[in-house]
Each structure stands twice: as structure tokens, then as C-alpha cells.
């Protein structure tokens, strides 16, 4: 199989179907780079529809990075209590705010090495920030992307990080930052691992 050609064929179909969607994902549409990063930390193992209003409530109460860094654990926890992994996420968002202020003077770094130093930031969050905030070519792999790419046979990987590395060899760089949004919308539309059902969704 020519994986590059197969990827382009699939991606073009998926892009045609989902590029006009107005559905907002958690890491999109924030007015400050730090909000994009904090919301993406919150979005791990949590639906976008759940994450966005909780993030909005958090930023209404703690409207600057400084306010979030100085927030009391219990105050942040009260806002995050209905999200998955609420205790860990409460600890991480406060620690992330402190770390960014102390080590990067409040600026969000533009490289994966510095980003992944921040508490709560893994490769998925780092790559999303690179694409959304810094407009860099980066591949963000969440559970939907990882599942679809494996089911479709484009990769055969056990972890999202391995999927990211394999996809870098297959997908032209100009598409990297678009992959996450398109594949997440597609993945939300069709759960499970039925390859025929997944492909059929693009024809509807």
C-alpha cells in the first residue's frame, strides 16, 4: 500500500465533509495563548462539550495567569469538580500557571521541549499549542486520531506518540496542523473500530 497516497485520499474526503463544521473543540477560539494551554490540559479524557463551559467559568473567576497561579486549590477545585480527574487537573493548572510565570515570564513557549516541562502538559497539549497559538506545523494526536489511523491501517501503533511519529512520515507537512480537527470531528461522529462504518461516514 502507498500510505502517502492512501492518507491523502482519506484526508481529502474527511476534509471535504468536516471542514465546514462550526463545532468548537476545546483548544480552539481562546483570546489568550495561556487559556488555550490550560483548556487543553483540562480536556484530557473529557468531552469538549464538558470542558469548554468549565474552562470559561475558570477564566471568569481567574482572569489572568497571575490570578490562576495565586488561586487557592479549593477555589479552583470547586470550578473543576465535575470534570474527569478533577483533583489532578486542579493541581496541574495552578502549577502550570506558576511554572509559566516563573520560567517563561508569562509567555507560552514555542517549542515542544519547553512546553512539555510545564506541569500537566504532554505531547498532545504541546502540539496543539504549537499549531493553535504559534501556527507551527505539528501533529496533535488524541484518542480519536489514534483510533481512526490504526483502524484505517495507516499506522500500526500502540501509543499516540508512536502514531504521531509514524504519521510524520506519511502526511505532507502542510496538512499536519489540520489533521487533529478533521479527525476529531470524524471520530466523534463514528465511534468504534468498524472500518467499513468509519469509511462509510465520509460518503454520507
Catalytic positions, please? 124
Q: What one-character-per-residue DSSP string does 39-103 give?
A: HHHHTTTS-HHHHHHHHHHHHHHS-SHHHHHT--HHHHHHHHTTSTTHHHHHHHHHHHHHHHHHH
Contacts of residues 194-199 at CB distance under 8 Å and 24 or more positions apart, as own/partner, are 194/151, 195/151, 195/152, 195/153, 198/148, 198/151, 198/152, 199/152
- Quick one: 26 exposed, middle or buried, by C-beta within 10 A (0-12, 13-18, 19+)? buried
Amino acid at each position: 500500500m502507498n500510505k502517502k497516497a492512501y492518507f491523502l485520499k482519506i484526508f481529502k474526503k474527511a476534509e471535504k465533509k468536516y471542514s465546514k463544521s462550526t463545532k468548537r473543540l476545546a483548544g480552539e477560539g481562546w483570546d489568550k495563548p495561556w487559556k488555550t494551554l490550560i483548556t487543553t490540559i483540562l480536556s484530557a479524557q473529557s468531552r469538549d462539550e464538558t470542558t469548554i463551559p468549565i474552562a470559561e467559568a475558570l477564566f471568569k473567576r481567574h482572569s489572568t495567569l497571575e490570578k490562576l497561579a495565586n488561586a487557592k486549590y479549593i477555589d479552583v477545585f470547586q470550578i473543576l469538580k465535575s470534570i474527569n480527574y478533577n483533583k489532578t487537573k486542579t493541581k496541574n493548572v495552578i502549577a502550570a500557571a506558576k511554572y509559566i510565570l516563573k520560567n517563561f515570564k508569562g509567555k507560552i513557549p514555542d517549542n515542544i521541549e519547553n512546553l512539555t516541562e510545564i506541569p500537566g502538559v504532554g505531547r498532545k497539549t504541546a502540539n496543539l499549542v504549537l499549531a493553535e497559538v504559534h501556527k507551527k506545523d505539528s501533529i496533535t494526536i488524541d484518542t480519536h486520531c489514534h483510533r481512526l489511523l490504526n483502524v484505517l491501517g495507516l499506522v500500526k501503533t500502540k501509543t499516540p506518540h508512536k502514531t504521531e511519529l509514524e504519521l510524520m512520515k506519511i502526511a505532507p507537512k502542510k496538512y499536519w496542523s489540520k489533521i487533529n480537527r478533521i479527525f476529531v470531528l470524524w471520530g466523534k461522529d463514528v465511534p468504534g473500530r468498524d472500518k467499513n462504518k468509519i469509511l462509510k461516514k465520509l460518503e454520507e
